[in-house]
Amino acid sequence: MYEDVRRRIVDVMRYMEERGLNYGRSGNVSVRVGDDRVLITPSGVVKAEMSPEDILVVTMDGEVVEGGRSPTVEMPLHLAIYRNYEHFRAVIHAHSPYTSVLAVAREPLPPIIEEMVIYTGGDVRVAEYAPFGSRELAENAVKALEGRSAAILANHGIVACGKTLNEALEVLTVVERTAQTYILAKLLGKAFSLPEETVEALKTLFLKRLTKT
């Protein structure tokens, strides 16, 4: 079942490895299909070497209904996002380098570039630290995602969401690129946020993208 979605998830994981957005056995991806099914990556495998058959199908309660592997330990994170934000149908968790720098510094990414606000809804907040795979991590991420499509996970990485897997990947890419720009600008001693009125205007475009069918 869901062969096209499985194949696309595999392609996205390989793309992230090739572009330096993720690496090795880290990171995970899910796509919600219908009301009670989620396709999700497995635990403990090199993500760039997965095949479509490795992708599991689980219920919104976390029960595995198809697949011979164990789902990612971050399944609670993915499912909590879907339960709280029905407009999101795809979630990517990655260990992107520059965003991970901010995660370790526990520093939010301010709205410094217009494109970022259109994709994220404003600053990218840092979710409070909690151990990986924990219910607390999922709850903290859900809180940090309010009104946003991405959140930094303290001492961990990033979670990016979208109405489609392609959109979630775009959010991830824009945030990582902006994080790189922000860190390099700070090395020069200056990193200015956009004017508040500009951010508010761009949030309107973000909300239109979020609600567009």
Q: Where do the structural domains in the chain lie, given as residue ranges?
A: 3-211
Mean pLDDT across the stretch 114-124? 97
Fold for the domain defined by 3-211: L-fuculose-1-phosphate Aldolase (3.40.225)
Q: Is 74 a catalytic residue?
A: yes
pLDDT attached to residue 145: 98
Which residue type sits at 101? V
Beta bridge partners of 181: none
Alpha helical stretches, state H, the chain? 3-18, 75-84, 97-105, 114-120, 135-144, 165-187, 196-211
As a whole number of angstroms, the distance between CA 39 and CA 31 comes to 5
Residue 211, pLDDT > 80, answer no
Confidence of residue 17 (pLDDT cuts 50, 70, 90): very high
pLDDT attached to residue 195: 97
pLDDT attached to residue 213: 61
- Which residue's entry shows tokens 């971050």? 74
Looking at 17, 18, 63, 74, which residue is catalytic? 74
pLDDT attached to residue 209: 80
pLDDT attached to residue 212: 74
Residue 31, pLDDT > 80, answer yes
Q: What is the dihedral angle through the alpha carbons of 140, 86, 9, 67, rounded to the nearest 10 degrees?
A: 90
pLDDT attached to residue 177: 98
Contact between 28 and 106 under an 8 Å Cβ cutoff? The reply is no
